[in-house]
Structure 1
Amino acid sequence: MTIFAESIRPPSKLLWAAELPRAAWTVMNRPRHKSLLRGEPAGDGRPVMLLPGLMQGERAFFPLQRFLRDRGYQAHSWGLGRNFGARTTGAEAEQLIERLETIATTDGPVTLIGVSLGGMIARLVAHRRPDLVREVITISSPFAGSGKATNVWRFFEWFTGERLDDPAVAARSAEIAAPLPVPSTAIWSQSDGLVAGEICRDSHGRSIEISSSHLGVQIRADVFLAVAGVLEGR
């Protein structure tokens, strides 16, 4: 079982306080960032699935989904609506795996792209059904360390009803952090205000550093380009 270092601290209060202004700045600059995306080559048509973060619905990934579809990828939503946290066990996880089975049967293994908690769920599914997963791309997902290296762990416990010190939750976290049996890429930011950047990196796979807040990270042009580069093998 993976033992997480407790020495990694959450982001500073200054970075935490800057989350909303930085996210708003990202939204306001989207029109300008669109020019950076012109000329990206077409993809190979593979199926991909987008997994939202905690409290996010499927529309949170709409800009990235449209970007990928415009380049020929089969970009699927995860089909479970808003992410309320308890998605890694039980009937909802089975529904996600069933959806992957349906896609993979027709089009082959699926590339999973998840932001924050969605990326952690993507890693768990890849461990449990690697036959259905081509690769995993996580975006600001704090899978590689203690949940207490975040500024939102108390909210997570309150919102989901799960406690980080529960043995079952700890075992699941260790499973998520373990090296994946499929290729993996972690997109992360040292200046993330909600989760420590160090626990979003993948020491057993590829890591791509960006400079971003946590909120709104999935609509950034540099994230689009990073995802496209991974899919294209760059």
Structure 2
Amino acid sequence: MAYGPPSPIVMAAEWPRAAWAIGSLALAGDRLRSAPRGDGRPVLVLPGLVNSDRSNFVMRRFLTRLGYRAYPWELGRNLGRRAIGTDGARLIARIERIHAESGEKVTLIGVSLGGMMARFAAGQRPDLVREVITVSSPFAGEPRDTNVWRAFEWFTGDRIDGDAVRQWGAACAAPLSMPSTAIWSRSDGLVNGLACRAPGQPLARDIEVRSNHVGVQLRPAVLLAIAAVLAGTSTE
């Protein structure tokens, strides 16, 4: 289903709202410290388009302090299929290593394009993945439901209307065989929030937050939502 991109007015507010997202962390210390404790499970965090592991440092530190084993993806900047391999082989190899090291299935948390990649990998190798959490990831819409599709083409080298990207997108949107949670916002200025969740899919749920897109992984509401989802998942 096509939802269309966010309005130019909402997009223009992205950077001022991103600055507030950073500042809001300092005001949410007590709330973040009171988040439910983790159980030591391995969690792999995937960055958004063009971003590297540095963009998710706060999230990984937060999860580590809660008691999870939070891993960076170690695949450099997220340049789409260039980063993970056309068939996702590099990302799947990273998940395999964490699975072997921990002896457990891996929870995947992906921001924006990283969330789509998490869903793709989980669909390819459900034997390795315990759960998927996406944050502002437009996996359920059309490429032009975003204001960044031209940037996607520029940095990844893929055409959004090409057969390869269409097939890859369909794989990302397919229902998963493990629990999945989509964290999304109606006020996202870069991607249409309605394209970031798939109501009606088995084992899937979505959580709406108030947020912009840039720096969404720094929002206290997002971090607390992730902590609540992880804490509410029964251990195997």
Distance 1:89 1:95 in 2: 6
Larger mean Cα displacement after TM superposition, 101-110 or 65-74? 101-110
Q: Answer whether contact 1:79 1:96 (CA < 8 A) is retained.
A: no
Letter of the 1:202 partner, please give it. Answer: A
Q: Answer whether contact 2:58 2:218 (CA < 8 A) is retained.
A: yes
Alpha-carbon deviation of 1:90? 3.8
Alpha-carbon deviation of 1:9? 1.5
Alignment match, 1:44? 39
1:123 aligns with 2:119: yes
Distance 1:95 1:162 in 2: 18
1:186 aligns with 2:185: no
Residue 184 of structure 2 aligns to a residue whose secondary structure is: strand
1:135 aligns with 2:134: no
Larger mean Cα displacement after TM superposition, 185-194 or 148-157? 148-157
| CA shift digits 1:48-102 (9 cap, x unpaired) | 00000011110111111111111110000011121122235348x3232122112
Alpha-carbon deviation of 1:142? 0.5
Distance 1:39 1:24 in 2: 24
Residue 75 of structure 2 aligns to a residue whose secondary structure is: coil
Unpaired runs of at least 5, structure 1 = none
Residues 88-103 of structure 1: pairs in structure 2 closer than 5 A: 88-90=84-86, 93-103=88-98
Residue 20 of structure 2 aligns to a residue whose secondary structure is: helix
| CA shift digits 1:14-63 (9 cap, x unpaired) | 10000000001111222112222122232111000000001111011111
Distance 2:5 2:30 in 1: 34
Q: Answer whether contact 2:35 2:228 (CA < 8 A) is retained.
A: no
1:173 aligns with 2:169: yes
Q: When the two structures are aligned, how many residues end up with a matched partner?
A: 228
Distance 1:98 1:20 in 2: 35
Q: Answer whether contact 2:112 2:135 (CA < 8 A) is retained.
A: yes
Residue 136 of structure 1 aligns to a residue whose secondary structure is: strand
| CA shift digits 1:180-205 (9 cap, x unpaired) | 11110000000000000110012211
Alignment match, 2:227? 228
Distance 1:139 1:100 in 2: 19
Alignment match, 1:161? 157
Distance 1:162 1:169 in 2: 7
Larger mean Cα displacement after TM superposition, 116-125 or 28-37? 28-37
Residue 29 of structure 1 aligns to a residue whose secondary structure is: helix
Q: CA RMSD in A?
A: 1.3
Q: Answer whether contact 2:182 2:205 (CA < 8 A) is retained.
A: yes
Distance 2:19 2:100 in 1: 41
Alpha-carbon deviation of 1:106? 3.5
Alignment match, 2:58? 63
Unpaired runs of at least 5, structure 2 = none
TM-score by length of 1: 0.93
1:195 aligns with 2:191: yes
Letter of the 1:117 partner, please give it. Answer: L
Residue 99 of structure 1 aligns to a residue whose secondary structure is: helix
